[in-house]
Structure 1
Amino acid sequence: MKAPRVAVIGGGLGGLSAAALLARGGCAVTLFERSKHLGGRGQTSDVEGFRFNLGAHALYQGGAGMRVLGELGVKPAGGMPGAGSYLLSGGRLHTMPRGLVSLLTTDALGLPGKLELAKLLAGLGRVDLAPLANITTRDWVEQHLSNADARAFILALVRVMTYCADVDAMSAQSAVAQLQAKPAVLYVDGGWSTLVSELETRARDAGTRLELSARVSAVLLADTGARVRGVRLADGTEHAADAVVVAGGPGDIAALLPADALLAHDAARAVPVMAATLELGLSRLPRPDALFALGTDGPWYASVHSAVAKLAPEGGAMVHVMQYLGGRGPEASEARLEEVMDALQPGWRTSVVARRYRPSLLVSHWLPTAETGGLRGRPSVEVPHVPGLYRVGDWVGPEGLLAEASFASAESVARALVPGQQVASRRAVGR
């Protein structure tokens, strides 16, 4: 039998994973990437020996990312943060509760807040996620916690686990799912470009043809129906395909079929998640024991990624400071991120070797809102009204957030197009 021809549009982590899985399953895969480089938001740049990711990147242990990477034989190296962690409130550092003992001894909360928080955390594992799809995260927190300090702490945890500050819109389903999972994170040696390189190798070894600087301008449909028949590039050339996988945002797929009202509707209702980031390469850490700070009185975060991963020259430090944007939070401010660093690492300015500030960095294409039905309300991998058209990304399918959703949707595409392929079973919210 002739191998199914699959065109994958987009060479980020999701597109490369989908291409590798499909090629391993026997498909004839061609991946088209519009830029000169693969990786998308997974790219890493070297500045004076410091490895700069596009913002703070962390790979969740036990999630779809590690599952799919493991299926492809990719074993990321790195380390898990934990030591030197603090809560930041009023410009002061407080002990970060990491268990019952530290919760009882921290000065970040009073006794009433500690008792309420302990009760909530003890019962989290029994919370049914399905009814939370159409409840906002703030409403859920206010229903279960009356103490202001306890609320502030839980909302801070939600922000760092979801990379989102808009708790007035975010579905409680996605927030509580992350709290239940308590995902340990891995900071990857060399940055996320190492994952991109490994996935490129797996895709090529499986037989994928990679076309760089190849911008797809349209998905082509058969004259006799809506089924896809291929893609057209910006230079006018056409490539036949039995299936097309778009690894991008909702606006990207809508632009490829501009007459499709349903795809345009998805693009219009998508609420992106954004962040402001300050990335710092320091020659030294003024305070080596302070490695992580999480704001409870504002949407702030700072972490010394090089403390556990190879991201800086010997003796240096790679630090990510971030402000989660959206909701009732303040506007992006480089000065405010500098103040977070002042609290975590006093005197850091004299050690700066390289720095980069981004006031508006795309974190995710689709915030799972209560209005759209949470994780289950996100678009499916298959485009139902266009046979042969599939989508992969951080906004697709019922499983995971951020890169986890990209990996999970790539896995789902492989299951749909290569039904006999043995891929580890997935965990989807509500199943």
Structure 2
Amino acid sequence: MSRRQFVILLFILYGIFETAYSQNTEYKDFNSLSRKADSIITFGILNEAFPGAQVLVAHKGEILFHKTYGYHTYDSLVPVQKNDLYDLASVTKILGTLPLLMKLVEEGRIDLDVPFSHYWKPWEGKKDKKDLTLRQILSHQAGLTPYIVFLNEVMENGTLKKRFVRSSATKRFGLQAYEDLWVRNTFENRVFRKISRSEVKQEKKYLYSGLAFLLYPSLIEQITGHSFTYLHTKEFTFPMEIPSLGYLPSAKGFPNPVVPTEFDSLYRKELVQGWVHDENASLFGGVSGNAGLFGTARDLFRFMQMYQNFGELDGHRYLKEATVKEFTRVQYPDNDNRRGLGFDKPLLDNADQPLSEAYPAPSSSPESFGHSGFTGTFVWADPEYQLVFIFLSNRVYPSRTHRNLYELNIRVALHQLFYEHLINQ
């Protein structure tokens, strides 16, 4: 019997024991809940889905569960701590970029149903893009190309092109991509041009694309006259009292340990820690709309709690209730598209799916919403159940080829566990 088979057998036996035990004990017993969560996470660690993780769950605005597991790496040197900073990857989209777009919409400075080219002028002359609306784009209904690897633009035969990346800062190379990597200031213009020329599917149906999120920070700056990071701090993280949620943690000197992500053998040639994992965000100097945010579990809880409260937190209103409700509703259900505006939503038939096929937990309500991140992060809020679920890991350590987090269904199983705890109370 292989080690993997042995671990799976132990997990099954533990589940059988827990089922028998729960017949004689009320399921709402917190110790039983904790043991089951421990079992799922330990199963993930032993099967190298991630070296460590943490789970924070809040009910009715109060933290119900917050535990850490494992270590930053498989050498078991640095244990996971509750104040660890994680690279949030695509969770950045709904916690970094989207709230600022939401404010512009509710202020009437952007209209969801006006062609995006009205605001982003390079698309005015593009036949396949000039009529696309922000509503279509944010709900992944526009047919945009899913992703472009811009690292290919700056590398040739495994070597960085000096006309785009240098080893030290100069007047023309002021965007810091890594400790000793500086990107040409005008590189983003090359990115914008390539996005403008990218293919658009004629058939308008659900096709996930993060490309437009590379444009939004620049668009927000053009409309407001303020820097993207300044606005994010001023409007959200500072008044929310979550200063550790932000970009470029290596430049801020926070005492929080930063969880490493991947050993990058191609581009940065070492283990990436404290710098954004996503290569496209890196080439924007670490500040991007698609990735780049770092934060703690508590940071994410407070932001998602604000969303769950439809724009209000601790008596302060950050967004209008109507705005949050509009962005978090399914936009194109008749097109078999589950997405909200920027937010991910449950599968349209999620309640009918078995645990192995559901996304997220099958008990999550149709009103719930959230997003996942490539590095192994996941946030979800459910206004109906008043449940906020935060899962943080570095599943890409030491390589992004590690996919057991998905294959073992770790996040969905954990998520469902807490729904069942509430339902059976």
State the TM-score, normalizing by the size of structure 1: 0.23
Structure with the larger strand share: 1
State the TM-score, normalizing by the size of structure 2: 0.23
